[in-house]
Amino acid sequence: MVGEPLPSVRVAGEGAAAVKKEGALMVYRKWVDAPRGLPPGSLVVIEDRRGELLGCGLYDTVGPVALRLVELGSCSFSSAEEAVYALIEAAYKVRQRIGYAGDPEAGYRLVHSDGDMMPGLIVDVYADLAVYQSSSIVWDVHGETVARALAEITGVRHVYEKSLQRTRRDIGLPPREGLRIGNKTRTIIREGEARFIVDARIGQKTGFFLDQRLNRLDFGRLAEGTVLDLFSYTGGFGIQALLNGAERAVFVEEDEKAVKLLRSNLELNRVADRAEIVQSNVWSFLASATNKGESYNAISVDPPAFIPHPGAYRKGVQAYTRLYALSARIGSNDSLLALSSCSTHLNREDFMRVVARALAWSGRSYRPLGSVRGMPPDHPVRPSSPHLEYLKSIFIVLD
Amino acid sequence: MVGEPLPSVRVAGEGAAAVKKEGALMVYRKWVDAPRGLPPGSLVVIEDRRGELLGCGLYDTVGPVALRLVELGSCSFSSAEEAVYALIEAAYKVRQRIGYAGDPEAGYRLVHSDGDMMPGLIVDVYADLAVYQSSSIVWDVHGETVARALAEITGVRHVYEKSLQRTRRDIGLPPREGLRIGNKTRTIIREGEARFIVDARIGQKTGFFLDQRLNRLDFGRLAEGTVLDLFSYTGGFGIQALLNGAERAVFVEEDEKAVKLLRSNLELNRVADRAEIVQSNVWSFLASATNKGESYNAISVDPPAFIPHPGAYRKGVQAYTRLYALSARIGSNDSLLALSSCSTHLNREDFMRVVARALAWSGRSYRPLGSVRGMPPDHPVRPSSPHLEYLKSIFIVLD
C-alpha cells in the first residue's frame, strides 16, 4: 500500500538557512509555517520558502521548537514509524562498529539526541534493559514505536521510560515514567572487568552515567594506592580502581539509595573488604579530611551539575573552583586527579580556566595527561549541535 | 658545594597575577624587572612586587617573553642544569605511567612545552633517537644539557636538534639544526602493529606526527574496504588501515621526500601490494576523483595548517570547508571520514562550525562518533596554556 503523501511544512529565512548551511536539526516556531491542526509527531516534508527540499522532520506542538529534523537534504521516509525504526537501526549499527554494542552485558548510549538524528530523544541500553528519555511531545507520541523498535533492534527485553528532566517542565510537558515493555527495571552491566548494577527507577538520569565509561576505565588503569571517589554515586570510578591495582578506596556519597547500590556493587565485584563508604556531604568530608591531614593517591571528582541553568553560572564556577582546589590539596605526591564537570553551561574554555585557577589556588604543581577529555564515542556530538557536549574531564598528576 | 644564591627577578601587576591566579608559565617583558646584564637562560627566583615567591624560571632575552617558569609557588632548584634534569625526569615518569614510554621501539612526545613545565621546548622520542625543538634562547643556551639529560633519562643514543620553526624567525632567533649526540637521524618506531621509519632530517616538524597516534589506531580499527589517505605524508593512517582489515589504500602526497619514505614504510609493513601512491596535489586529486565518480569506504583528511598565522584565518576556513566537503562527497555509503585540523588559530568551536558547514554543503547525512577529539595523553595541555591545543579531529560515519 502506498501511503498518503506527507504534509509539507515551510520554513522561512534564518530557520531555513540554519538547516541548509549548518545542518541544524531543530527549527524554532517563529520560522515555521505549518498546516493548521497538524497533530504533534507528524512526519512532514520540510521545504524553504521557495519550495527547496530541506529534509524530513517531526512536527512539535509544545515549546519553542516546531520541527525536529530526522533527515537532511532529502526525505526518504514514508511514515514516522519507518523513520523511528531506520534511525534506531542506524544508531545501533554505529554502536556495533565502534564495538560498544553486541555483548549482551554491555551498557552503552544508543541514541544521543541530535547526534543520532533524533533530536530530543536519549536511549541508554543496559544489557537486557533499555531506558529512554523524551524531551519532546514528538517522542511522547511515538513512545510505543520507540519501545518496540528498541526491543526488536537491540534485543533488549525490557524498556523503561524515564522522562523526568527539568527541560520538560520548562516547556510545560508533564513528567513521564514507567515500564513500556517487559517487567524489569534493574539489571547488571559489564564494563571492563567490573560489573555494575543499574536501577533505572532509583538512579539519576537513566540510571547510570555511561558517559564516564572511558574515564572510569582509564582512572582504574592509572590509580594506585589509596583512592578517593568523591560524589561516588554507585561507585564506578573507585570500583574500577580497586579491580586494577588500587589497595583501598574511600567512597563519598550522600544519597541513601545510591549508597545501597554502591554497597551491592562492591559485593558484586568482591572488593567490599578494601572499600570504605562515607555517607556524607562531600564538602563536610573534604573539610574533615583536610583537618585530619589525610592524603590520597588517586582522586575522582565527578560532581553533579553545579550550573543547572545559566543564572547559576557565577555560583557554580565558584563551587567547581573550590571543589577542585580542595581535592588537589589532599592529593599525595604523584597522585592522580580526575576532575569532571557535566554542566552544559560551563563550556570547555571556562572549564580549563576553572581548573587552572583551582590548581593555582591549591598551590600544587601538576602535569596534565593530555588535554580536556570530551564525550565518548557512544555520545556523538553533531558539530551543528554543540550543546550536546556537556561532559569535560581532565586527568592530572600532582607533583 | 653550596651554589651561589639565585638572582631574583621581580614581576609586576598583571604579570604576577597571571602566574599566581592562573598558573601562567610565561611572563612578558613589560612586567619584568631583572638585574642588568643577566645572561639568557639564567635560573632565577621570581617574586612579585611585594617579595612574595612566585616560583623559579629561566630568564629570556629575545622576544616578548622575559620569563619562562619551570616551577610554581616554590623554587627548589639550585641550578638550571638541575632543573632541566628534574623536569625531563618528571616528564618521562608521566610517559611511563600512561604506558607510552618503556618499549625501546616506542615513539612518543616526551616534552610538550608548558604541559611539561618547560615552556618553549618540544621533545619527541623515536625509539633510540630524540629530536628536540627550541623556541627560545633559553633552550638554545641549555641545549647541551637538554641533550645529555635526554640520553641519560630515556636511554636514547642519538639526539638531534631541529629548531627551524617560524616562531623563531618571528622573534629574531636564527634556525638551528644538527646532531647533538650520536650519529643517527633516522630510525624505526612501532605503533600498534605498524612500524614507521622516522627521518628527523627530511620530515616535517620533528620528523613524524606523534599527535595523531590514537586517531591513526582508531582509524585503522574502523576502516574497511578501499581507503583514501589524503595528505598522507609518510602513510600513517593508510598503513594502520591496511594492517587492520582494509583491502586497498590510495595515498595522496605531493612531497617527493615524503613519498620516498611512504614507499619504504609500505614495504616495511608488507602492504605495498595493496597500496597505490598518487604523487599529486590533493586538490587536483579530489577534482579528478569527483569527475571520475570514485568513492572510498574510509577517508583520512589530515592537511597541513591552513591558518599558519591569524591573517590567514578567512582563507584558511574556506580551504578547510571546501576540503572537508569535497572529501565527504566521495565517501561511499557507511564510509568513515576522519577530518583533522592542526591550525592553532582554528579553535575547537570554529572547527565544529567548519565541519557542520562542510557536511551541510556536501549534502551528505552523517553520524559523528563521539565529539571532537583533542590532544593525546603524551601532549599535555596545561589549562593555563590553551594555545598548546592545536589538534582537532572528528570521526564521522556518512549515511
- The answer to whether residues A54 and A163 belong to one domain is no
pLDDT digits (tens), chain B, 399 positions: 456 789 999 999 999 999 999 999 999 999 999 999 999 999 999 999 999 999 999 999 999 999 999 999 999 999 999 999 999 999 999 999 999 998 999 999 999 999 999 999 999 999 999 999 999 999 999 999 999 999 999 999 999 999 999 889 999 999 999 999 999 999 999 999 999 999 999 877 888 999 999 999 999 999 999 999 999 999 999 999 999 989 999 999 999 999 999 999 999 999 999 999 999 999 999 999 999 999 999 999 999 999 999 999 999 999 999 999 999 999 999 999 999 999 999 999 999 999 999 999 999 989 999 889 999 999 999 999 888 899 999 999 998
Instruction: Give me the domain span that covers residue B325.
Output: 209-398
Cβ neighbors of B347 (< 8 A, separation 6 or more) are none
SS (H, E, C) A220-256: HHHCCCEEEEECCCCCHHHHHHHHCCCCEEEEECCCH
Our CA angle for B296, B299, B303, nearest 5°, is 140
Q: Which residue of B has its CA nearest to A383?
A: B352
Cell numbers 541530535 correspond to A114
Using a 10 angstrom Cβ sphere, with 0-12 exposed, 13-18 middle and 19 or more buried, the burial of residue A38 is: middle
Name which of A22, A356, A369 is nearest B22 (Cβ-Cβ).
A356
Contact B54, B46 (CB under 8 A): yes
- The answer to whether residues A324 and A256 belong to one domain is yes
A392 to chain B, any CB pair closer than 8 A? The answer is no
Chain B residues with CB-CB distance to A364 below 8 A: 73
Alpha helix ranges (H) inside chain A? 13-17, 80-97, 137-141, 143-154, 166-171, 213-222, 236-243, 256-268, 282-292, 313-329, 348-362
A202 in any annotated domain: no
- Would you call A365 and B22 a contact, using CB atoms and an 8 Å cutoff? no
Among B123, B53, B131, smallest CA distance to B95 is for: B123
> The domain spanning residue A359 has which CATH number?
3.40.50.150
**pLDDT (tens digit per residue) in A159-201:** 999 999 988 999 999 999 999 999 999 999 999 999 999 999 9
Alpha helix ranges (H) inside B275-347? 282-291, 313-329
Chain A residues with CB-CB distance to B348 below 8 A: 348
Regions of chain A short of the pLDDT cut 70: 1-3, 203
Query: What is the spatial distance between Cα B360 and Cα A217, in angstroms, rounded to a whole number?
Result: 35
Chain A residues with CB-CB distance to B382 below 8 A: 356, 368
Question: Please, what sign has the CA dihedral across residues B211, B214, B215, B217?
Answer: positive
Determine the pLDDT at residue A2: 53
Determine the pLDDT at residue A64: 96
Last residue within a domain, chosen from A153, A187, A221? A187
A42 in any annotated domain: yes
Query: What is the spatial distance between Cα B34 and Cα B3, in angstroms, rounded to a whole number?
Result: 20
Q: How many CB pairs under 8 A join A and B?
A: 151
Helix (H, G, I), strand (E, B) or coil at B202: coil
The count of other CB atoms within 10 Å of the CB of residue B220 is 26
- The answer to whether residues A255 and A373 belong to one domain is yes
Contact A117, A86 (CB under 8 A): no
- The answer to whether residues A60 and A163 belong to one domain is no
- Would you call B399 and A90 a contact, using CB atoms and an 8 Å cutoff? yes
- The answer to whether residues A71 and A98 belong to one domain is no
Chain A residues with CB-CB distance to B349 below 8 A: 386
- The answer to whether residues B228 and B361 belong to one domain is yes
Contact B279, B250 (CB under 8 A): no
A104 in any annotated domain: yes
A203 in any annotated domain: no
The count of other CB atoms within 10 Å of the CB of residue A103 is 12
Last residue within a domain, chosen from A22, A44, A78? A78
B194 in any annotated domain: no
Among B172, B219, B108, smallest CA distance to A369 is for: B108
Last residue within a domain, chosen from B38, B60, B78? B78
Contact B66, B32 (CB under 8 A): yes
- The answer to whether residues B110 and B219 belong to one domain is no
Chain B residues with CB-CB distance to A374 below 8 A: 370-374
Determine the pLDDT at residue B1: 43
Helix (H, G, I), strand (E, B) or coil at A319: helix
Determine the pLDDT at residue A1: 43
Helix (H, G, I), strand (E, B) or coil at B373: strand
Interface of B with A in 256-315 (CB under 8 A): none
- The answer to whether residues B217 and B297 belong to one domain is yes
- Would you call B399 and A98 a contact, using CB atoms and an 8 Å cutoff? no
Contact B325, B362 (CB under 8 A): yes
A3 in any annotated domain: no
- The answer to whether residues B262 and B368 belong to one domain is yes
Total domains, chain A: 3
Determine the pLDDT at residue B3: 64
A196 in any annotated domain: no
A357 in any annotated domain: yes
Interface of B with A in 109-128 (CB under 8 A): 115-117
> Which H/E stretch holds residue A124?
strand A121-126
- The answer to whether residues B67 and B140 belong to one domain is no
Among B376, B212, B214, smallest CA distance to A395 is for: B376
- The answer to whether residues B69 and B104 belong to one domain is no
> The domain spanning residue B42 has which CATH number?
2.30.130.10
- The answer to whether residues B228 and B371 belong to one domain is yes
